[in-house]
A and B are shown apart, each in its own frame.
Chain A
Amino acid sequence: MAKVIVITSGKGGVGKTTTSAAFAAGLALRGHKTVVIDFDVGLRNLDLVMGCERRVVFDFINVINGDANLNQALIKDKRHDNLFIFPTSQTRDKNALKREGVERVMEELKQQFDYIICDSPAGIEHGAITALYFADSAVIVTNPEVSSVRDSDRIIGILASKSRRAERNEPAVDVHLLLTRYDPARVAKGEMLAVEDVKEILSIPLLGVIPESESVLRASNTGTPVVFDEESPAGRAYVDAVARFLGETREMRFVKPERRSFFRALFGKA
């Protein structure tokens, strides 16, 4: 049975699209046929992060409106056969996300895929609500700072009250915390919230901690999901998070300050 996962946060700029790309690619690498959908109508970015912006012909809104069929709009990733990108429209706005249309597309996608990743827009308005409405699972992307934590808390509340599962009194959407842009050195200095603080406030299970890493920016700019970069700590952290999502137990890495080696300290290389 296909599973719908929403990547959401409430707050903008915390790493939803990066996470959507990495998570979808991570699931594909584990052998699951996966599609990642951009719900951020009018602010299309997923195609850039996935590196397929020059191959977009039809989009999500065209399919919702019946102007194109699903297979015309789905873009197959060149790096992995299991990975597909479903871009959105840049010229429309969130009102184009009609619930019946989205539902029909979701049902169609469920016939073809194991996992459907929904990259939510920021906010708690129509776009974000539509992105989370059909979810079976949610990954709450949170930065270790108070405003992000509060917005995450709000969106968890919305998942519990406005999702389809909530409306139909079905088992609740299963919610996971993914802490991104984590810098253990700054946590040690008290400039950032620690993992434990965030976990305690949100009281949901922790899926992973993604360290602040320059490889994330490089991955976005080159259009390569960061899990394809095996050298990158962030990429490895996403691989771990995907494994935990699939039920494996993995030790949390990158949560303690890195011990700088004598030579690194001496030559000032971070």
Chain B
Amino acid sequence: MAAGNIVQGALFTVMVVRAASLRDPGFEKALAQQIARSPRFFQSAPVVLDLRGVENLTEASDFDTVRDKLHTLTLTLVGVQNAQPAQLEAAIAAGLASFAPNSGAQARAGAAAVPPAPRTRVVGEPVRSGTQIYARGGDLVVTAPVSPGAELVADGNIHIYGALRGRALAGASGDAGARIFCTRLEAELISIAGRYLVSEQLPAGVQAAPVQVALVDDQLTITPN
């Protein structure tokens, strides 16, 4: 059997119950009335508990209580969403699934929530003198030469597949882990997280060479690639 046949994706409609409404004394009665109107639709229907605005429910036993309560209404609690890290941990311990979005703990829980990919801006044309390109919140990739008098700015890394003859400022909003890569360094200025070197400070050995630039011990460090 091919591996692809073991796990398959499917889409289901699932009801969401707001945990905040559980506190409402009239909640149970209102829900029971609604179920009575169309009992077949609600028979063993899966339910996700939305924890937005709820601070308690941080123990697995809390979720067991909620599960039992919903069970008396013929509903089956299958998971949580909008959970704080502690709530998510408790919910998973109680055998519930994590439905996106949940804050923070996706990696720890190994669950389905995926962080939004940082945006990368790709430029395929030569960057001409007088042009400024800013990749806000992500990386900047240029697959053409960058002319003297042009300026590249990125909150993340800057990659240039070509000659860098203008300025390149990576980690513009303070990310000291950002780097600059280029296949030919002839820059007027390079900067990472505010630390900079101008052209005449660049070591002779790296001129016109393929390099990467990183911040090491708060010093701009240029390494030939």
Q: Chain A residues in contact with chain B, CB under 8 A?
A: 124, 150-151, 153-154, 156-158, 160-161, 200-203
Q: Mark B124-150, 1 if CB is under 8 A from A, else 0.
A: 011011110000000000001101111
Chain B: which residue is nearest A161 at the CB level? B131
Q: Mark B173-205, 1 if CB is under 8 A from A, else 0.
A: 000000000000000000000000000000000
Task: Determine whether the beta carbon of B149 is less than 8 Å from that of A150.
Answer: yes
> A residues within 8 A CB of B129?
150-151, 153-154, 157
C-alpha spacing A157/B130, complex, angstroms: 8
Q: Show 21 residue pairs from A and B whose CB-CB distance is below 8 angstroms, ordered by the A residue.
A: A124-B130, A150-B147, A150-B148, A150-B149, A151-B129, A153-B129, A153-B147, A153-B149, A154-B128, A157-B128, A157-B129, A157-B130, A158-B130, A160-B128, A200-B163, A201-B145, A201-B147, A201-B148, A202-B147, A203-B144, A203-B145
C-alpha spacing A161/B147, complex, angstroms: 16
> A residues within 8 A CB of B163?
200
Number of interface residues of B (CB under 8 A): 14
Most A CB contacts (10 A, CB to CB) among B126, B144, B149 go to B126
Q: Does B167 contact A (CB under 8 A)?
A: no
Which residues, 151 to 170 on B, are CB-close (under 8 Å) to A? 163, 165
Task: Determine whether the beta carbon of A154 is less than 8 Å from that of B130.
Answer: yes
> B residues within 8 A CB of A202?
126, 147
C-alpha spacing A201/B164, complex, angstroms: 10
C-alpha spacing A160/B150, complex, angstroms: 14
Chain B: which residue is nearest A149 at the CB level? B148
> B residues within 8 A CB of A201?
145, 147-148, 165
| Least distance between B183 CB and chain A CB atoms (Å) | 13
Q: Chain B residues in contact with chain A, CB under 8 A?
A: 125-126, 128-131, 144-145, 147-150, 163, 165
C-alpha spacing A268/B80, complex, angstroms: 94
> A residues within 8 A CB of B131?
157, 161
> B residues within 8 A CB of A156?
126, 128
Chain B: which residue is nearest A157 at the CB level? B128
> B residues within 8 A CB of A203?
126, 144-145
Chain A: which residue is nearest B127 at the CB level? A157
> A residues within 8 A CB of B125?
160
> B residues within 8 A CB of A151?
129
| Least distance between B175 CB and chain A CB atoms (Å) | 28
Most A CB contacts (10 A, CB to CB) among B128, B131, B150 go to B128
Task: Determine whether the beta carbon of A153 is less than 8 Å from that of B144.
Answer: no
> A residues within 8 A CB of B128?
153-154, 156-157, 160
C-alpha spacing A31/B19, complex, angstroms: 83
C-alpha spacing A202/B150, complex, angstroms: 13
C-alpha spacing A205/B148, complex, angstroms: 19
C-alpha spacing A223/B144, complex, angstroms: 42
Contact of B149 among A154, A158, A161, A200 (CB under 8 A): A154
C-alpha spacing A158/B129, complex, angstroms: 10
C-alpha spacing A209/B125, complex, angstroms: 25
> B residues within 8 A CB of A160?
125, 128
